[in-house]
Amino acid sequence: MSATRFALGLLGWPLTHSLSPMLHGAALHAASLDGGFRCYPVRPGPNAARELDEWIDRMRTGVLHGLNVTVPHKVRILPLLDALTEEARAIGAVNTLFLDAGRVLGDNTDAPGFLADLDSQLAPSPGYALILGAGGAARAVAFALSRRGWRVLVASRRLEQAKEMAGAISNRSYPTVQAIALNAPELQPVIASLTLIVQATPAGSELAEGSAWPDQLPLPSEAMVYDLVYFPRETPLMLAAREAGLRTAGGMGMLVEQAALSFERWTGVRASRQAMRLAVGLAEPAAERSPG
């Protein structure tokens, strides 16, 4: 799309510690594009749908050129949009809103962003994956892994939510997503088979202390652990996994990748991932060469 100045933003709650303004500010600067990125908190509750609809209307009228969506609105915003991309429809959650001929469409860059970072950090071969959680981010991860040939088990304390998610993502081509209750007795029999654990709940973040992994349940000896939480950089689950000798990765790399893909959707310009990684401390500035 064409814009003299890109007005971009993020919808969600809470947004106090969001790194998105830093990421997109760095991408805009690196691409020599004029614009800005702001956080627009939308508190969950009875007025949330009306507020979300107002922000979507600002896109339809050209006041805003692109929006990201984060918790808790990735699924709740779907009925308010004009259409979804094929991938967003299959996942059942969006994180990116963009304009197309005056319509506001929902896309999901979480899935490809997760895979890009998973490949770069852990590079696992398809096997048996356990996803902790059944929210919007978990849906994107389950979709991405199942399409890569993984067998996926979704564990949630709200078993009905996990079953709904597994049923929505699975189909005749990818009948590999199943649901299970997130508790020690249910997980115990499958631990030995796991090669990847993806933590997709707020546990360990600023929103919720502790770990989603059940107490007293040993971690699988051969699994890798990827935690979508990016602040703090090392969550309680990551620490426990590292102490058990497992390879771990946090969610900061995924945050950068999904943001870069959103930026490219909005601007049509390739995002400088190096500039974005520098902005959030994932990369070191290039050392200056001394003269002579």
Domain boundary assignment for the chain: 6-108+255-279, 123-246
pLDDT digits (tens, 9 = 90+) for 30-85: 999 999 999 999 999 999 999 999 999 999 999 999 999 999 999 999 999 999 99
Question: What is the rounded CA–CA span in Å between residue 255 and residue 244?
Answer: 26
Which residues does residue 12 pair with via DSSP β-bridges, in sequence order?
Answer: 41
The region of weakest confidence among 2-11, 197-206, 248-257 is 2-11
Active site residue 74: yes
Residue among 111, 79, 87, 109 nearest 200 (CA): 111
pLDDT band, residue 289 (cuts 50/70/90): very low
How open is the CA angle 101-103-109, to the nearest 5 degrees? 100
Q: Is the link from the previous residue into 236 a cis peptide, with omega within 30 of 0? A: no
Is-same-fold flag (6-108+255-279; 123-246)?
yes
H or E segment and range at residue 84? strand 83-84
Strands 96-100 and 103-107, sheet pairing:
antiparallel
The number of beta carbons lying within 10 Å of the beta carbon of residue 158 is 13
- Sequence letter at residue 4: T
Q: Among 65, 73, 74, 277, which one carries the catalytic annotation?
A: 74
Residue 252 scores a pLDDT above 70: yes
Backbone angles phi, psi at 191, to 5 degrees: -55, -45
Architecture of domain 6-108+255-279: 3-Layer(aba) Sandwich (3.40)
How many angstroms separate the CA atoms of 168 and 179, rounded? 11
CA 52 – CA 94 distance, rounded (Å): 13
pLDDT tens column, 51-66: 999 999 999 999 999 9
- Find the angle CA(225)-CA(200)-CA(196) to the nearest 5 degrees: 30
Instruction: Specify the CATH superfamily of domain 123-246.
Output: NAD(P)-binding Rossmann-like Domain (3.40.50.720)
Rounded CA gap, 21 and 8, in Å?
A: 9
